[in-house]
């Protein structure tokens, strides 16, 4: 089910309601690299797959704001 809201006032009436969800999205390393370019955040944990193999997650991870977008 898709929820459509036409105003902020209408949105406030939906507080606490289930608004729906989307399908999973696969985030590629290319997308992460492009996000790093656009934000200037080139931390190794995002853009260096070889170094990230030895990091806490065993691979690169997406930027937090990329996952929000």
Q: What is the pLDDT along the chain (69 residues), one digit of tens a residue?
A: 677 889 999 999 999 988 888 889 999 999 999 999 999 999 999 999 999 999 999 999 999 999 988
pLDDT of residue 69: 85
* Domains of the chain by residue range: 24-68
The answer to whether the CB of 19 falls within 8 A of the CB of 5 is no
pLDDT of residue 1: 65
pTM above threshold 0.75? no
Which of 35, 44, 30, 20 is CA-nearest to residue 67? Answer: 35
């Amino acid at each position: 089910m898709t929820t459509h809201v036409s105003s902020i006032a209408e949105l406030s009436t939906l507080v606490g309601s289930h608004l729906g969800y989307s399908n999973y999205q696969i985030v590629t390393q290319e997308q992460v690299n492009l996000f790093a370019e656009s934000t200037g955040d080139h931390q190794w944990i995002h853009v260096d797959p070889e170094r990230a193999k030895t990091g806490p997650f065993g691979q690169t991870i997406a930027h937090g704001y990329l996952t929000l977008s």
